[in-house]
């Protein structure tokens, strides 16, 4: 392990804590969104639009936050993100509580939810994942260290995906809106910890100028395309699984919240297991991680498509989670290995924006197709992942990262090697 990673390990853990706190707060709310939408009088498509607006904010803001993490520093950007997300979720909780009383006209209620849960939360949320990825890319060198560092960020996300829905589903048993009150409190605690514990950067440090990177850069677009396909398929499932469980099993709103939390726990638990146990031991190159992930996700989507009960659906989502657990570190690390130090923030912003773009299209696509027929979103997801699997095996651009796990490619401050190009 290099000196850079040794020096940066504690701050990396703190940055991962920020990622974990933000995503836990977000995912706690996810299990109650579908039943809450129906209690407020919204249909499936209306919920999809709210989520799409939030994801649009992430898409638009991620490149900006990526460059700011380089020029402003990681610590202030994380604090802005956590405080802003806390404010957005708290406003959403207040609006939802008032909305359940019926005193607000439905159009006004919809606009207020768009502003709080959609716009404010989305713009603030965007900063944390991109800042975490930028930090890891800044303090690690070589493929093996980069993959390990990115897998720590991925594990934090996966753990939040496991803890958040399960905790949110449990809280919803007492009160449907309970997760909406607890989530901002968690973000407040994490913000205080980051403010107190995360070290300030040296005052004498010279920050490199932020460099823009095009999403159509020949080094980047194959990996951005792959990540987009993986996350779009997963988003289609996440945005419709609550409706599917409620309709197929004839559950109440609170029962749907609990069941949705358990199904999401199956997928997120596999993400954590893969990234915490398998990836550090296998030491696979990013390309191999991506290919294995694509194959597993295709199998998981097939299982989810043909599932006839909650247990089978949970099994399909678990396999999907395992596939994403392998693919996520490869997608996050491969582009950074082909970028210079000045490009790291921009690259992290592109990866985060591409992922967020799936949460713009996924909710609208998934919920809109669900209204036609519940099986259609899952069938389309299967076709998408099968095509993606072929792509990652045949496209030469996916093979641009080095195959030797310890080869020091993309070292901070250096140009990518000829092999990387």
Average pLDDT of the residues in 151-168:
78
CB atoms within 10 A of CB 373: 9
Domain spans of the chain, in order of start: 3-198+216-399
Q: HEC string of 198-252?
A: CCCCCCCCCCCCCCCCCCCCCCCHHHHHHHHHHHHHHHHHHHHHHHHHHHHHCCC
Distance from C-alpha of 148 to C-alpha of 29, rounded to nearest angstrom: 29
Fold for 3-198+216-399, please state it. Answer: Growth Hormone; Chain: A; (1.20.1250)
Query: Quick one: pLDDT at residue 416?
Result: 32
56 or 201, which is more confident: 56
Query: What six digits make up the tokens of 291?
Result: 């290919």
Residues 6+ apart with CB under 8 A from 212: 63, 67, 346
pTM of the model: 0.69
User: Which of 15-19, 150-154, 299-303 shows the lowest mean pLDDT across its residues?
Assistant: 150-154
CB atoms within 10 A of CB 192: 12
Residues 104-144 have pLDDT tens digits of 888 898 899 889 988 898 889 888 888 888 888 777 777 77
Distance from C-alpha of 342 to C-alpha of 208, rounded to nearest angstrom: 6
Residues 293-345 have pLDDT tens digits of 999 999 999 998 888 788 898 999 999 999 998 998 888 888 888 877 778 77
Among 57-61, 288-292, 336-340, 352-356, the range with the most confident prediction by mean pLDDT is 288-292
Question: In 3-state terms, the chain is what percent helix, strand and coil (to 5)?
Answer: 80, 0, 20
- Tell how many helices (H) and how many strands (E) occur in the chain: 15, 0
CB atoms within 10 A of CB 285: 23
């Amino acid at each position: 392990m290099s000196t850079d990673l040794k020096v940066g390990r504690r701050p990396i853990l703190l940055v991962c804590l920020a990622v974990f706190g933000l995503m836990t707060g977000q995912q706690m709310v996810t299990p109650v969104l579908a039943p809450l939408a129906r209690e407020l009088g919204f249909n499936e498509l209306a919920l999809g639009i709210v989520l799409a607006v939030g994801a649009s904010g992430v898409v638009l803001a991620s490149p900006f936050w990526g460059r700011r993490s380089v020029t402003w520093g990681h610590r202030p950007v994380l604090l802005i993100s956590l405080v802003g997300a806390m404010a957005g979720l708290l406003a959403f909780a207040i609006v939802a509580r008032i909305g359940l009383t019926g005193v607000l006209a439905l159009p006004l209620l919809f606009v207020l939810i768009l502003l709080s849960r959609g716009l404010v939360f989305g713009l603030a949320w965007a900063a944390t994942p991109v800042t975490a990825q930028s930090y890891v890319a800044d303090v690690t060198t070589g493929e093996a260290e980069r993959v390990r560092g990115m897998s720590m960020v991925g594990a934090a996300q996966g753990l939040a995906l496991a803890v958040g829905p399960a905790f949110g589903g449990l809280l919803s048993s007492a009160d449907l809106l309970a997760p909406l009150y607890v989530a901002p409190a968690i973000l407040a605690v994490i913000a205080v910890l980051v403010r107190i514990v995360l070290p300030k950067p040296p005052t004498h440090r010279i920050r490199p100028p932020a460099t823009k990177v095009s999403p159509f850069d020949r080094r980047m677009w194959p990996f951005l395309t792959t990540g987009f396909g993986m996350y779009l398929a997963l988003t289609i499932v996440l945005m419709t699984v609550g409706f599917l469980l409620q309709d197929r099993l004839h559950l109440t709103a609170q029962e749907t919240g609990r069941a949705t939390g358990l199904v999401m726990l199956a997928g997120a638990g596999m993400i954590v297991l893969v990234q915490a146990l398998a990836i550090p031991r296998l030491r696979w190159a990013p390309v191999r991680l991506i290919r294995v992930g694509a194959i597993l996700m295709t199998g998981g989507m097939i299982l989810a498509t043909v599932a006839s009960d909650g247990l089978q659906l949970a099994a399909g989502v678990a396999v999907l989670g395992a596939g994403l657990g392998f693919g996520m570190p490869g997608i996050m690390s491969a582009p950074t290995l082909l970028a210079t130090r000045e490009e790291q923030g921009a690259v992290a912003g592109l990866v985060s924006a591409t992922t967020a773009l799936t949460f713009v299209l996924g909710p609208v696509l998934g919920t809109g197709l669900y209204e036609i027929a519940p099986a259609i979103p899952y069938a389309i997801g299967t076709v998408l992942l099968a095509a993606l699997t072929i792509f990652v095996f045949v496209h030469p651009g996916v093979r641009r990262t080095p195959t030797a796990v310890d080869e020091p490619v993309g070292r901070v401050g250096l140009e990518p090697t000829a092999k990387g190009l």
